[in-house]
Amino acid sequence: MYEAGVSLGGGCLRGAAHIGALKEIINHNITITHIAGSSAGAVVGGLYACGLQPDKMEDVLESLSIRKHLDFGLNRKGWLKGDKIYNTLLQLTDGKHFSDLDIPFAAVSIDLNSGELIIINEGEVAKALRASIAIPGIFQPVKIGERLLVDGYILNNNPADVVKEMGAKNVIAVRVFSSQKQKESLKGLISYLRRYMDITSTIHTDHLLKSYADLLMDIDLVNVGRFETKSLSSIIYRGQLEARKALAKERAYMFDSHMLYLNHRQIYKDIV
């Protein structure tokens, strides 16, 4: 049986594709020894580490009302307070702490006070997940001790290095994006700021993936927006399909759009 740690990147609602990728990894009898994530990847990874299986995650997502979780705030810290999302995460994680988990897990965040990348691996899991999805300007930051935590997107959007440092012998990283959306013309202030942050994040994250990911699964959700809610089940399926292609035996020694980096080809002999 093949063992690997898993790194899951951000992607807002497109991150639902991570659920499909986890399904396929499990279907290939790969034992997940460690898991870490940023933003949406932190949520999926954290729920799995708490014992929630991918099929159950899909059921929860299908029955979840996104609109009912939009608790608009009246202060200047962010549009959304995030309390409703936190309460749902608290319920889905059964209030577990990191010390309760059978699979070591870590969530990536940034401390606005110090500017440092923060790896959260202790305390309450739900609060860590809430911090990792706290996109500045949209969600209010999460205060933990003296730290004011937000989404780790800019500094590390796919923590393969964290998974390796946690002790994983091999690392499978899953990256979710939309190539068509990235090619669209820039229109207005928001698109300029978003593109600026994308460039910064990509430079940092790509370097880490090249150095630490043994297998990178690229899930290209062509023409799917970050906050699209109408096709979540389709996104999950596409995530599973792309993961299946990346793990397929006939692609074991090929460098194609689904496998960008592969440092240890021997791992496929154990997987398939």
Q: Which residues are catalytic?
A: 39, 151
User: Half-sphere exposure of 134 toward its Cβ, with a 13 Å CA cutoff?
Assistant: 27
Residues 6+ apart with CB under 8 A from 7: 35, 36, 37, 41, 158, 159, 160, 162, 163, 171, 172, 173, 174, 213
Q: Which residue has the tokens 């993936």?
A: 209
The answer to whether 243 and 219 are in contact (CB under 8 A) is: yes
Residue from 216, 235, 217 nearest 226 by CA: 235
Cα angle value 265/23/53 (rounded, 5°): 130
Q: Which of 32, 10, 48 is nearest to 156 (CA)?
A: 10
How do the residues of the chain divide into helix, strand and coil, expressed in percent and rounded to 5?
45, 20, 35
User: What is the number of H-type helices and E-type strands within the chain?
Assistant: 10, 11
